[in-house]
Every structure is written in C-alpha cells, then in structure tokens.
Structure 1
C-alpha cells in the first residue's frame, strides 16, 4: 500500500542551526528542536523538513557534505536525532531529512581519494575531463561561478560542479555510487525518519541518465525501492524546477517521487500576487498534470533559497521583480529575489495572512518555512541567499530567545520593522489578531479538510478578476476564496453555497446569499459542505484543537 499521509499534512521547514540553541554555543541544535515541539504541535505541524545535519565544512549551509553517515557535532548526537524522532512522533509529527547526493564537498574522502589516484575506484565517482566540456549546463550560481568546470592540480584534470567549485558533482551513472547512496539512506531510515527531501532532484536524474532525463529516472525508482524496504510509508520529496509537462517523469506511477516541489505553481503565486489577479495562478494549476496514486505536489511561498522565477517569461519575471524586489540588492543570480515573504509584502499582516490562506487552498501539500508564521524579515547586508537565513525570533529578550551565547551562527535582525524586539513569537502568541494567530487558525482549519489532500480540485469561476476560487470535492466539499486585491469586492460564484458552513475567514462577514458574497481587501473565506455525522465529528475535532 502506497503512503498517503503526506497528502494531508503540513510540512514545516527548519534550519537546525538557526531554530533554537539548547547548549549556549550560538548554534541551533537537535535538542533545541525537541524543546520547541509543543510550539510546533500547536501550529498544526505534521512533518519537519530539516536542512542538512551531516558533517560539513559549512561553506554552503551544510549542502557541502563531507560525511553522509555522521551528524555534524554542532547539532548533537545520533541519539539526539533518535530522541527527536521519538518525541516528535508522540505528537503526531514525522521527520524528513535532506538527501544531498548530487555532489559532495571537496573535503569528502571519496573526492580526496579520487583526485590523488586516477586508478582509484573513487575516480569514477565524479565527472572528470581533460578539457571543459559544453554539455548544455550553466552554473547554478552565475554571479559567483563563471564555469561548471574546475581545474584540479592534484588530479591533473577538470571536474564538473554545477553548484559551487567546492562541490564536485557525483557520477550517478556509476552503480558503486548508487550503492553507497542506498547505504546512506538505510542508515538514516533505520533510525525512524519518514523520508528524504532530494536536493537538486532534476540534476540527479540528468546525471544518472548521462544528460537524458528520461533515461535517468531509473535512479528515482531505485531510491524509492530502497526506502520502502525499510519504511513502507516513507516518501521522497524532490526539488524539481522544470516545465510542468515534465513532472510526470518524476512521479512515474507513484514509484519515484511521492512529493514534487512545484516551482511552476510557486512562480505563478507571486505573479498573481504582483498583479492582484487570480488568472496566472488558475492557468498554472490547470496546466500541471494530475499526480498518480500515492503522489502529490508540494507547494510553498518562500524557502531557504532565492525566490527562483525561471518558470516565468522574461516580462513576467520583471513584473514580479518590480513589485517585490525593486532594488538591485534585493535580486540574485539574474533570476530571483533574495527576500523573505513579509518584507516583500511590506509587513502587511492582512496580506501575509491572505498569502497563507491562498497557499493552503491549493491542491498540494503545504510547506511553511520557520518564522514565516510570525512574519520574520531578512538581512540584505548578508551575501547571496544568507539574507533569508537568520535566527528564529522567539521573544524580545537577549538574542531573541534563540541562544544565550555571545556569538551566534548568524546575525539577528535588530533594527527596523522586523527587529526581534517587537516581532517575535511571544508578542504574537496571545494576540488573536496577530499573524501567528491568523496563521494558526488557517493551519488547523486546513488540517481538518481531508478533501483538499485526497479529493478532486476544481477551479471555480468568480466574477471578479482579483478573486481566486477553488473547490475540493471528496467525501465532503470545501470551497475557498481569496481576494488578491486591496479593495472590498462583491463576488458571485458559479456554485451556490446553500448548506455550506463557513469554517474560517479573515474577519466576520454576513452569510452568503446563494452564490454571492463579500470579501474584504486581501480577505479570504473558506466554506465546507459536510452532511454526515462522521464529517461533523471531523469539524468538531478540528474546532477542539483550535
């Protein structure tokens, strides 16, 4: 039986080094996450996606791995991870780890042995050439790297690196490499994790297929089979930034990726928000293929990287840039925005809550990045993507309650409208109008709507261009509306809401009159039709949690 839990859960992304420091060394750790599990449970979180924990020199936030089978000591011990898995599980929360196997760091023993000896078995773990080869790929970070090939004096050859030069690419067509990856997976799966987020999944497939995507999908099937032998309900969540017509290669028959991170829809969320019009998002949803049984899309607003807008046309990309990143230092790599959501929306609590409601109404598993629920800001003085990687703001006390150390893993946001002294969890915890309270209500409402994860999504026609409307039809039917514009509107749907119950909204409203209703500027309203006693019981359980 294929896993289905991931279709009806909320995934919360954590940077372990920046979430909570339990031992006063200035860096977040696993015990720190354990201490905050009650907070996460109260949010309605169903799974944690942890950024890399492996041993690393941390030139790239842990994505430069030097030992896949060891935790970096800064995060704690393997027993700490085991305790996190157990204690999170007691609260109904699963744990997903990163699997970063498109490359290693140049300090990894495999690479050190490969560069020293052409006859070593590890030489073929990487991609080497006597001269740079144009294989159609360009540097992922074009403002930092001007080539994907780096000369290595000790090896006497060039090695390929799509990312940074200190991250040599693995040869995933080599069976020995794949066998080692399987050993890595088994090690962590046996601790009880729920699965992996596959970093750079589309590049993994390309490398496994010798440059041919369709020839490389065998790798996903192989990793999937390895996982379900240990955890039959495990999932692989893949970073797949490609055209939507190619998503089917990554889903297969539900025997490849269980969740495809949907950059296509993500880009069009921001195009819709920039225009204040629903049409770009409606068009994007209509174009993506339906996932197979046991698989789904993962949707989000912002993550740990730049907001990569490559799925938009050049004109659309500039439109979004002008709306949300008008200054040059807000942009990155010629394609993206290096800002968090809250500053992009000028700190407007209504608009941020609207964005969360929009995200949670989409067909797909929602992902929320740590701090997004309170509207954390960014630090544009930090280089590249580090601008959106700052410590969690727990309270207004020293170091935002993140750590008792004098020196922190990253600087705090201390000035301006997003400073921790007035934007933090403690300040918003008991304020019913805070972003945290609004987001929590939305998350709990969404957790009670199994039809959003399991049902059929149907885009609805509203007679106002600013209003996004969607229905999810299963054992019950949910109808969700979001006003992407600043003005109050009267809107009429093609669907009569007779018998529907309003379950969450941005503010009190009069009841709909048939198919007509009002929506405040940046407002949202969710309705549900549930006639059976079981469905009414589901509603009551959700209300009790809230």
Structure 2
C-alpha cells in the first residue's frame, strides 16, 4: 500500500463560531483559533479542518456563502486569517478549508443576477424550472424540511435548494460555474491552505430529468435523491486536473447517500478524484428508515457490520475516514456510550480506542477529546440550528407527527446543536469561551468537563487522546494494517485485529455497562498492552471485560 502523509495524519475539526471568542462579542473567531495553537499542538493533531469562515448572511451558520474570497465579519479579517494560517504552519499544522460549492447564499452576486430575468447571463448558474400543475417541479424535499423548491415571482419559476431556501443549488452542468469554482479554489491554494473538505460534494451532479423520488416521513423525497449523479466523477476529475494537482493537498468529500461502490470511485488510490470520503451509514444505525428523529439506541451488531463493510470494502482500493462526531452529529459519548459521572471517562476513552485503531484517517471534532456531552436543552427557544427549529415546527406544530415533549426528547439526543455549544476551556464564566453570554448556551457541565482540568491530568480523556494520536504516529500497523472483525454476533463487545506483516494487534471494546467474559485469541495471550482505559490486568485465556473497558494488545 502506498504511504501518504494524509493517511498518517490526525484531523481536528474546528467549528469557529464555538471554539474561542477573542474579542468579547460572544462569537468565536479566527484570532481565538490562533490563540489556541499550542493546545492543538499539544494534543498532537497535524491537520485542522475549519468549518466555513467565508462571508455569509449566516442562515445556516456559514454554509450559505455570499463571497468565497472574503472572511465573515464576525470571525475577523483576511489579515486575521493569514495570521492564523501562518501560526498553524509554525506549529506543524496544516489547514483544510470547508468547500461549500453545491450551493451558494441567495445573497451571492451570482444569484442576485440570476433571479433578475430568464435571459440574465447568470441565469444558468443555478437550477430553475417551471412548476407542474401549480406545484413544485418535483417532490424532492429540502434537508431542512419542506420542499426543495422555492417559487420566485420575478420570473414565475422555481429554483432548487436542497438545503435552506437561502441556499440555491449551483448548476454544475454549466462549465462557467465549474471554472468559477476552480479559480476560487486555486486562489485559496495560492494563499497557502493545504486542502479542502468538500461539503455534500456527492450532490453536485443532478439527474438531468430531475425525477420524483420515494416520499419520506414529511411527504417529500429525501434530499439525498440526487446523490451520485451522472457527471459527479467527471467533474471531480476535472477539479483534480485543474486545481488539486497544483499542490500536495488533502481532500475529503462529504458524500451523503454514498454507497461502497461509489466510494471506491471517489477515493480510489489512483488519486484521480479525492483522497477519502465521509460516509454516514454508521450514523444511521440509530435512526428509523428515513427518520433520524428518534431516541432509538444503536445496535452494536449492526454498527460492527457497517464499519466492517467499509473497512474491508475499501481495503487496498480506497481510503477510509474515521469519525464519531462532527458539527452535524450529536456528542458520541452521549449517543453511543454513557455520559453519566460513573462511566463518562472510561466510555469516552473506549469510543476513541474503537475508532482510532481502525484503518483510515481519524477526525476529532472539537471537544470530543474532552468527552464533551449532549446538552440538556429544555425549550425550542434555546436552539439555533435551522434543521432542529424547522423539524420542530413541521413535525410538531404543523403536521402533529410528534408531541412537543417527544420532539424535545429527540432533539436533546440528535440535534446538531449538541455539538455546537461553546468549547469548554475552563470552569470560569461561560466556560472560558467568552467574557459575555455566547451566541448559544454553554453546556452546564463545563465545571466538571473542561480543558484546563484535563490537560495536566495524566488520566484524563484529553491525555488518552494524546496517547492514541502518538501511537498512530509511532506504529505503522495502526495506519496501514489490515482489519478483521471477531465476535460479530456479540451485543456488547467490539473486537477486531490489525495485521501488518508479522505484527498483529487485538482491539477489545466493551460498549455496555455489563461485565462480559471474553476468550482472548491464543496468539495474544503472551502479548503486552499497547493502551488501556482501565488499570491493566493479567492477560489470560478468559478475561472479564469491565464496563466500557477498552484495551489493545500487541502480539
């Protein structure tokens, strides 16, 4: 297998609005990120992925961009960005920009022109269609509830928006759009950024006849309906030739609706398209069909089957990205483990062990390395996430699918805002994130869970992440070894091996609060511990795995 630096990297995602406020306005900013480079270097990460920092009206927290070559005023200036980029590079950290080019803001100059008239030169930069029988052109739904079409009186037509109505979809079939995007990407590479995380990149090529899809819980077809369209690979190969080969970049595509076969095309080892993709199949294990709003618990057997499918399916063909959390997902320790005081630390370490020991590039979402948890929201008024607010309005107030009490329970479990509350730096007011009340509430547990408390504690979740990250840099087997699942039918234990030549590792993770007896494969019984989240016990044929215990044995 070819060795590449991005396979050996550990990526840390920063959601700038919630990371660190340097100027006391309650909103995180670029100078706040610059302030914390020592912290990131201490953790050991070597790539930072920044959620969007471009100029934006902020309808969807920066994922609606009105100027790709300017910085959102709340985050600072382009000079602040340049200073942050230089500081990152001085600390040995590369910077990955969030590339949001499936859509723009409706306040982008292109769209302002596009909606003026049917013959405007920018009309074809977006996807416009006539209605059918006084209704939308098809039954596609927006990711944020309701139809994916907005009627525009000016020209008596509809425009497509797979997300908010303030996020019109670009028409990638127009070569001028592609040239504009590629030109902008090269501008950022010339500035010195090191790569791109590509937002919903699997949606850029739409099926030409825009056919109806299968309706979901709200009567609309999933916004993933257009995923993996007929020209998506062609357009990404063009991007590779015209942009990505101009520098030694790291690229990851957010590919909603991606299948294993499609992923092999997006991220194959010949590097004609992307280095890796984010697939979300394992994020759907605790959902019901097309409905994520549930408090269903994850079935570990199903989770193992999904992750193993991707580990084995991409082996020697393409590269995996490894994650439990990001800005769109709730906190993993609350979702998949146990965030109670009794088991918080061991279960956060267990989840980290499980995912970081797999083959692929690990992604750590800000605060995950502290075991930050979901938030005890009590009112819909406390939410800021468009997805959560719209779902509450539609499913509770309009369609009465759920009661208010049910929906609040689901939101407290699944809302994206669980991951977007301020980073918990210390136990001072507002968790040390800001000197004033932040844009979204602080999780009340910041006095118990914060960076200041953990950085100097050798037994903390933070320092366990440091160990995992250091091990990945030391041991090629963790990066390049093959993965094989053991005990597929166990409802509590996730056990797998990694193999590289004569070297072999055994990873054992207990996803339950039960003690579980496990037989250790013979070849590991005379081995040694590589890392463990409990005091190390004697290695023997039969071992009792403690609640949320995790350890790795080296042959």
1:131-158 CA deviation, whole Å, 9 max, x = no partner? Answer: 155556322122xxx2111111223311
1:427 aligns with 2:436: no
Distance in 1 (alpha carbons) for counterparts of 2:70 and 2:511: 46
Contact 1:127 1:169 in 2 (8 A): yes
2:258 to 208, 220, 242: 242
Specify whether residues 241 and 43 from structure 1 end up closer, same or farther in structure 2 by C-alpha distance, changes over 3 A only: farther
Q: Hey, what does 1:11 align to over in structure 2?
A: 11
Contact 2:517 2:543 in 1 (8 A): yes
2:274 to 252, 257, 269: 257
Specify whether residues 107 and 421 from structure 1 end up closer, same or farther in structure 2 by C-alpha distance, changes over 3 A only: same
Specify whether residues 190 and 129 from structure 1 end up closer, same or farther in structure 2 by C-alpha distance, changes over 3 A only: same
1:302 aligns with 2:315: no
Q: Hey, what does 2:140 align to over in structure 1?
A: 137
Specify whether residues 494 and 278 from structure 1 end up closer, same or farther in structure 2 by C-alpha distance, changes over 3 A only: farther
Q: Normalising to structure 1: TM-score of the pair?
A: 0.82
Q: Hey, what does 1:43 align to over in structure 2?
A: 43
1:287 to 305, 309, 316: 309
In structure 2, stretches of 5+ residues that fail to align are 211-225, 289-294, 389-415
Q: Hey, what does 1:58 align to over in structure 2?
A: 58
1:511 aligns with 2:527: no
1:454 to 480, 493, 499: 480
1:99: how far off?
Answer: 0.5
1:206-252 CA deviation, whole Å, 9 max, x = no partner? Answer: 46997562433211112222333321343243333333343224225
Q: Hey, what does 2:383 align to over in structure 1?
A: 382
Q: Hey, what does 2:438 align to over in structure 1?
A: 408
Aligned length: 487
Contact 1:504 1:525 in 2 (8 A): yes
1:346 aligns with 2:339: yes
Q: Hey, what does 2:394 align to over in structure 1?
A: none
Distance in 2 (alpha carbons) for counterparts of 1:190 and 1:434: 40
1:472 aligns with 2:498: yes
1:463: how far off?
Answer: 9.1
Distance in 2 (alpha carbons) for counterparts of 1:97 and 1:63: 12
Distance in 2 (alpha carbons) for counterparts of 1:14 and 1:56: 18
1:461: how far off?
Answer: 4.0
Distance in 1 (alpha carbons) for counterparts of 2:537 and 2:418: 43
Q: Which runs of 4+ in 1 moved over 6 A?
A: 207-210, 273-277
Contact 2:50 2:98 in 1 (8 A): yes
Distance in 2 (alpha carbons) for counterparts of 1:60 and 1:94: 26
Distance in 1 (alpha carbons) for counterparts of 2:327 and 2:249: 27
Contact 2:207 2:230 in 1 (8 A): no
1:150-203 CA deviation, whole Å, 9 max, x = no partner? Answer: 111223311111111111111011100000000111011112222111111221
Specify whether residues 157 and 206 from structure 1 end up closer, same or farther in structure 2 by C-alpha distance, changes over 3 A only: closer
Moved more, 224-233 or 100-109: 224-233
Q: Hey, what does 1:356 align to over in structure 2?
A: 352
Q: Normalising to structure 2: TM-score of the pair?
A: 0.80
1:434: how far off?
Answer: 3.0
SS in 2 for 1:491: strand
In structure 1, stretches of 5+ residues that fail to align are 308-338, 530-546
1:95-123 CA deviation, whole Å, 9 max, x = no partner? Answer: 11100011111111000011113222210
1:61: how far off?
Answer: 0.5
Distance in 2 (alpha carbons) for counterparts of 1:175 and 1:276: 44
Contact 1:502 1:528 in 2 (8 A): yes
Specify whether residues 116 and 226 from structure 1 end up closer, same or farther in structure 2 by C-alpha distance, changes over 3 A only: same
Matches within 5 A, 1:158-237: 158-206=158-206, 213-237=229-253
Query: CA RMSD for the aligned pairs?
Result: 2.9
